[in-house]
Amino acid sequence: MKYIIVKHILILQFFYIFFLSACESEVFAPSYQVELPQIPEAWRDILGSPRWLLVWISPAGTKKTLEVEENQSPAIQVLEEWTNPVIAYPFWTTRNIPPDIMRPAGALFPFDLEGDQIRLTWRGGIDATLYLELAAQGSETNRYPYYFNWIRFRELLESNDINETLRQDPWSADWKAIALKTARSGFDRRRIVPLPRTDMLIPVQHKGFWISTSPFAEPLYQEAGTDLSLQVCEKIDIHLSSAGILHYTKNAWILMPWERHKPPPFISKLFARTTVSRFPHQLQVTSHLLPSSFPLKQFTLPQSH
């Protein structure tokens, strides 16, 4: 009887120690307030006030998500050993606009840490997106985003070495393609160029402003009785107005009025349950987030010292 009691005590001690080890990283990790940016006024005029989907990596290496109301400043705990992203996607349930339609804001920890605040910016959304795209390719190329020279990259985007169009609107580049080439053969600033575009007239009937999915793009005004003039490329772009949401490429376009607009099925699964498991020096990530951020990939984290 005594042996059984001692055995049970040892088993309980084992599970207690295991539980403490699993929770220790988050229990003792500091918390940081997240400061979200204001959306462009043109967005607010057409879409109203957004909610935000905040995505980050916890001290335990698990992906965390949180829906945040506008003007809230939630406290989060982040993985501190290495550079890692915090990204926030605005969305509008009243307009059926899910996350990842409008471009995100973001930050890189610890570069955007000010005291106990992580300040997310629209420029930081570029960094965070490129980080995720590089992470998606890293397991196949051994080039990982935490080794990337983010300080130099930020300086480059602000310099005259970069095309003026891209400096004004960094989302005019194809960051997925840039990340893929960078992961395969290293960084080359000559790849940081806007997508080639041509002028196109789209015969939609509207009088008023159109907004882009990029927070850097100026709204376009369309006069009554005129066609909408846009610069188009091979990839699908989106403009929005009080008339609805316009999807277009150089070959086709479709305008969905708001009363009929519903996100397509694959969009509704953007933020399905995501699993991230922490193994020794590894991060396993599974997600439905489009276009390619955190797909089913695995990349190795650096050894801690």
Whether this prediction's pTM lies above 0.85 is answered by no
Q: Answer whether the bond into residue 291 is a cis peptide, omega within 30°.
A: yes
Same domain, yes or no: 243 and 109: no
Per the structure block, which two tokens stand in for 233?
């490329």
Angle between helix 122-141 and 150-157 (nearest 10) = 130
Same domain, yes or no: 48 and 182: yes
Domain that holds residue 237: 198-266
- Strands lying side by side in the sheet with 208-212: 220-222, 208-212, 237-241, 244-248, 253-256
66 within domain boundaries: yes
81 within domain boundaries: yes
Pick from 95, 92, 96, 76: nearest CA to 84: 76
Same domain, yes or no: 153 and 41: yes
116 within domain boundaries: yes
Domain boundary residue among 175, 195, 215? Answer: 195
pLDDT tens digit at each of 305 positions of the chain:
544 444 443 433 433 333 444 444 556 689 999 999 999 999 999 999 999 999 999 999 889 999 999 989 999 999 998 999 999 999 999 999 999 899 999 999 999 999 999 999 999 999 999 999 998 886 666 778 988 999 999 999 999 999 999 999 999 999 999 999 999 889 999 999 999 999 999 999 999 999 999 999 999 999 999 999 999 999 999 999 999 999 999 999 999 998 766 655 433 333 333 322 222 223 233 232 333 333 323 333 333 33
Same domain, yes or no: 116 and 41: yes
Same domain, yes or no: 58 and 163: yes
Same domain, yes or no: 108 and 238: no
Same domain, yes or no: 167 and 210: no
138 within domain boundaries: yes
Same domain, yes or no: 59 and 173: yes
Question: Based on the structure, what is the number of domains in the chain?
Answer: 2
C-alpha to C-alpha distance for 71 and 78, rounded to whole angstroms: 21
Same domain, yes or no: 213 and 86: no
Return the SS3 of 159: coil
Same domain, yes or no: 219 and 145: no
Same domain, yes or no: 236 and 136: no
Pairing label, strands 220-222, 244-248: unpaired
Same domain, yes or no: 162 and 209: no
Pairing label, strands 63-69, 51-57: antiparallel
140 within domain boundaries: yes
